Structure 1
Amino acid sequence: MASEHFLIPRNITNVLRQVSYTGIIALGMTFVIIAGGIDLSVGSMIALIGVLVVMLLNYLGDGWTAVTLAIGASVVLGVIFGAINGLITVKGRVAAFIATLATMSVYRSLTLYISDAGEVVSRNTFYPEVGGGYWLSIPIPVWLFLGLAIIGHLILRHSAYGRHVCAVGSNAKVASYSAININRVYFLTFVIAGITVGIAAVMLSSRLNSVSPGDAGLFYELDVIAAVVIGGTSLSGGKGTIWGTVIGAIILGIINNMLNLLGVSPYLQGTVKGLVILIAVLMQFQKNRT
């Protein structure tokens, strides 16, 4: 209603494409937050994985074989970096907030060092088709976001592991009395988050066909956490849904798009986003009180 340009199909497609990058990561973050943790390193992680994947792609040369190997490597790197976060919190007994705050700095620093703070550009002519391509007139990242949401929903709601995640987030001590391996469940949530970051890194870097080490994934952790919270997942853990996160990501994307269409200063957009997060948290608080 506020803008005649909003409902144009091309604009809707662009909104969904932009939402898909942070939305894919938010799916993994949902598991982490439901289990009672948080991961602040996802933005730096996506930059580091993106740089490493593009470098590997340039080393392997042109062709779909190189692209396939690079995609596989991206997922493996996501597992490794996610496992590092999980090991620090589980084995090192460091609070997830502190552990991932530290790795956020480490990953970003390594990204700048490896790339020499310069933009890394892919020389593979097929790579841009991965994140920039369309299927049935809808961007591939959007299809991937939807597919991963379905998988995430099935894991969270229709598997023993999903029930264990909710149990650990609700009350870890009671979960341990129920013979649930708390450390294993908690560790795997960070691995799942790492996998989603690896997938998002491929989509983002292939869409741009390059990675800027200083800007790639910057503040993504805030958008990801905001999408999860707006979607109804409790920051205290124990409850949340994948589809709620999907809706939260779309709401956040629509807000950003409308602010741009209405010509709101980019310096004020963070204020609006912050207010939306506060309202979502306050609504959760009031709901829990009642």
Structure 2
Amino acid sequence: MSNDTHPVPPLASGDTPAGASSLKSRFFNPTARQKLLAFASLVLLIVFFSFASPNFLEVDNLVAILQATAVNGVLAVACTYVIITSGIDLSVGTLMTFCAVMAGVVLTKWGMPLPLGILAALCFGALSGSVSGFVIAKMKVPPFIATLGMMMLLKGLSLVISGTRPIYFNDTPGFTSIAQDSLIGNLIPALPIPNAVLILFLVAIGASIVLNRTIFGRYTFALGSNEEALRLSGVNVDAWKIAVYTFSGAVCGIAGLLIASRLNSAQPALGQGYELDAIAAVVIGGTSLSGGAGSIVGTIIGAFIMSVLTNGLRIMSVAQEWQTVVTGVIIILAVYVDILRRRRR
């Protein structure tokens, strides 16, 4: 996976000159240090829960952690792009649900083949993301308010379209294989890694390459680091901002397919609350809430931290309400660390 730590566009203020891209600036900048800290925290959590519960390292439990990380990780990748632009998207959880419901309608109500159901999830995700982007970029509604409204809108649409009932995929051959089967396990029986995890890493690799190696990624960083300088240079800032939210929405469509395949159903009431874990994973991984810096690698590490923590607390029989409290504390601490990191720049 490519290293996407540095904001690369020449339009962003404060960029490091090309000749100064030394080993030190590459591996010891604030975002890289945050990734290392996150990885060390992940290792410590695994060690702690391994000693706290003998069941933690069982194969079935590890597979459950991987499956949970797949959905949250893909959502976190979607959030990473938006947060790098100095935005926020509170609708990713309900957008995931909406995409799952629309895939269910196309596949089970309309009887369309599986590829069209997959395409529907991606297209409805991209469309919803573009609407959020338009409201933010063109109507100048703050991202928090715009995506909060979109969250409620998508939640309502999911309930209305589904009739408030789950949509099951029992008559859709191959749908559960998207997340539940193991292509790697078929090749290497000792590694029963679900397809959902493979899809997560493919999404992460692709998103990392796009973020670090394309003009789309450069402008994503520039939007967060110095939007006005980007505008003055002649770039259509509004169009690029809409494009970022559209891309994020399409990635949420992938998450919708994964969770629907894992549950073999589209649950219209599911989704709200997932955005908190996704945003926490992004911030834990070193992406700055002020924008202009971030890393897909760090985001994936953050997603694993959230899944390991949730799973470990559940195995230790910690009540669900206290798990929510812990998640809230982690988000506050992650944001505080981000504030401290920005003060030191």
Correspondence for 2:250: 195
Correspondence for 1:180: 235
Q: Which runs of 5+ in 1 are unaligned?
A: none
User: What's the CA shift for 1:30?
Assistant: 0.4
1:247 aligns with 2:306: no
> Is the contact between residue 232 and residue 241 of structure 1 (CA under 8 Å) also seen in structure 2?
yes
Amino acid at match of 1:50: A
Per-residue Cα deviation, 1:194-246 (whole angstroms, up to 9, x for no partner): 111111111111221112211x2121111111111111111111111010100
Question: What is the SS of the residue equivalent to 1:132?
Answer: coil
| Alpha-carbon distance in structure 1 between the residues aligned to 2:174 and 2:202 | 23
| Alpha-carbon distance in structure 2 between the residues aligned to 1:208 and 1:139 | 13
Per-residue Cα deviation, 1:19-64 (whole angstroms, up to 9, x for no partner): 1101101111101000011111111112222112112101354xxx
| Alpha-carbon distance in structure 2 between the residues aligned to 1:81 and 1:151 | 21
User: What's the CA shift for 1:163?
Assistant: 1.6
Map residues 205-216 of structure 1 onto 2, 5 A cutoff. 205-214=260-269, 216=270
Question: What is the SS of the residue equivalent to 1:93?
Answer: coil
Correspondence for 1:272: 326
Per-residue Cα deviation, 1:56-112 (whole angstroms, up to 9, x for no partner): 101354xxx711111011111111111111111112111111111111111111111
Question: What is the SS of the residue equivalent to 2:173?
Answer: coil
> Is the contact between residue 280 and residue 334 of structure 2 (CA under 8 Å) also seen in structure 1?
no
Amino acid at match of 1:51: V
Amino acid at match of 1:87: F
1:96 aligns with 2:151: no
Count of equivalent residues: 286
Q: Which runs of 5+ in 2 are unaligned?
A: 1-50, 185-191
Question: What is the SS of the residue equivalent to 1:138?
Answer: coil
Of the three residues 175, 193, 209, the one matched with 1:127 is 175
Of the three residues 250, 271, 289, the one matched with 1:217 is 271
> Is the contact between residue 283 and residue 338 of structure 2 (CA under 8 Å) also seen in structure 1?
no
**Considering only aligned residues, what root-mean-square deviation do their CA atoms show, in Å?**
1.4
| Alpha-carbon distance in structure 2 between the residues aligned to 1:139 and 1:82 | 28
Map residues 1-290 of structure 1 onto 2, 5 A cutoff. 1-61=51-111, 66-122=113-169, 123-136=171-184, 137-214=192-269, 216-290=270-344
TM-score by length of 1: 0.95
User: What's the CA shift for 1:179?
Assistant: 3.0
Give runs of ≥4 in structure 1 deviating > 6 Å. none
Q: Which moved more, 1:118-127 or 1:239-248?
A: 118-127
| Alpha-carbon distance in structure 1 between the residues aligned to 2:290 and 2:164 | 37
Amino acid at match of 2:56: F
> Is the contact between residue 223 and residue 292 of structure 2 (CA under 8 Å) also seen in structure 1?
yes
Per-residue Cα deviation, 1:116-165 (whole angstroms, up to 9, x for no partner): 11121122132111121112221111001101111111111112221211
User: What's the CA shift for 1:180?
Assistant: 2.8
> Is the contact between residue 155 and residue 161 of structure 1 (CA under 8 Å) also seen in structure 2?
yes
> Is the contact between residue 289 and residue 338 of structure 2 (CA under 8 Å) also seen in structure 1?
no
Amino acid at match of 1:227: A
| Alpha-carbon distance in structure 1 between the residues aligned to 2:223 and 2:101 | 35
Question: What is the SS of the residue equivalent to 2:330?
Answer: helix
Amino acid at match of 2:136: T
> Is the contact between residue 136 and residue 143 of structure 2 (CA under 8 Å) also seen in structure 1?
yes
TM-score by length of 2: 0.80
